[in-house]
Amino acid sequence: MIRSRSLALTAVVGFTVVVAASGCSSNSSGSGTSASPSASAVSLTPEVQAKLQKVIDDVRVQFKAPGLQAGVWTDNGQWVGTSGVAKVGTSQAITPADHSRVGSITKTMTGTVILQLIDEGKLLFDDVIDKYVPGMPNGSTATIKNLIEMQSGIPTYTANTSVVNKYSAAPTTAFTPQELVNSVKKSPPMFAPGAQFFYSNTNFVLLGMVIEKVTGKSVSDNFNDRLFKPLGMNATSAPGTSTSLPEPFLSGITEQGDPLGKIKNATNWNPSFAFTAGEVISTLDDLHKWGVALGTGAGILNDETQKMRLESVKTTVPPNTAQRSYGMGIVNTAGWFGHTGEIPGYNTVLNYKPDIRTTIVVMVNSDLTQGTGPTQLAPAVVGFEGLAGIMTPGGTASPSGSAS
């Protein structure tokens, strides 16, 4: 069966990262940048670069992943490192041009379009989901705001449901968004809207359906016109039901699907099982562009809306905490703003830290984890922690579990 968290390592529940801010205050303005370089950003000296490379080499070995690449971008320079191979069983080198499935980083894009539509007056935070997709648990009370903040109480379709079993048995099967959400229609609500945080992929599939209904355009067209083209993310796409990746690409492995536990090539599994919860394909360089836009609002949101989005992670709704919290389609991890992403075969992390204007991206062509429950480790998450510990002055990073 596909793990219930298979479309995202949420970096919220069971995901502990200790990254000290070294006395820096977070800049939550929409611009997020200034003319002068950040005095707090670590210089990427040869010594620092060697430490960064060791982190990704160690993580690849630890998780027995075919390959891993990562990038760090600051006002003081940039570093890109690779380890291993693009395709298991080959000697093909990894390059920044390689396309990869980025899983739940897609949610940051879905959430951004929702915020744009609210700014345009085409959608209201207080709209209930029944207005657009009727018949969901809590459908008459769960609002767009509840969905985007993962507080709707609507169960996740990536739990043990018939649709998951169907995907596990035949992972190239194409799914419609309606089929995904229908699989939880008869389930009872988990809690009253706004009472708790619970990471449900159903929330963001529903938001994608809302986007298409409100705009009359496909998610792919919305993402291209509103996000990818304006930001110059020319190698990023929402593939819909297509199972192929553009050349060149990373080939991903997984133990998910039938039979469970056997390592399989998941490169061409159908991303329609993820839709707007996790279907996007991107590259290292494009995710850097997206990280800056996500962390600053530049090119995608006005200053007021960006400020509201970053402040949304200050929620006290349990089990969110000051160190780990989920806002409006964005995660706060000790002052780093972004998201993790897992889809069978791939594991990715993207984060931006406003006070040091630093972006970190880690991409792995494997979703094989270690440990279980709250101590479960994922390769890209562990890689991010190691890189963040080096790049945050006075900070440290500790291994963490990741489950939702």
What type of residue sits at position 281?
I
In the numeric block, the tokens 């200034």 are attached to 34
Assess whether pLDDT exceeds 90 at residue 35: no
In the numeric block, the tokens 């998910």 are attached to 256
Percentage of residues in the chain with pLDDT exceeding 90? 83
Q: With DSSP H G I counted as helix, E B as strand and the rest as coil, what are the percentages for the chain, rounded to 5? A: 35, 15, 50
What type of residue sits at position 60?
R
Please give the CATH topology (third level) of the domain spanning 46-391. Answer: Beta-lactamase (3.40.710)
- In which band, very low, low, confident or very high, does the pLDDT at 42 lie, cut at 50, 70 and 90? confident
Structure confidence by residue, pLDDT tens digits, 322-338: 999 999 999 999 999 99
Burial of 373 (0-12, 13-18, 19+ CB in 10 A): exposed
pLDDT of residue 393: 64
pLDDT of residue 37: 52
Kindly state the average pLDDT of the residues 178-182.
97
pLDDT of residue 38: 58
pTM over 0.85: yes
pLDDT of residue 179: 97
* Distances in whole angstroms, Cα of residue 316 to Cα of each of 51, 320, 400: 36, 6, 22
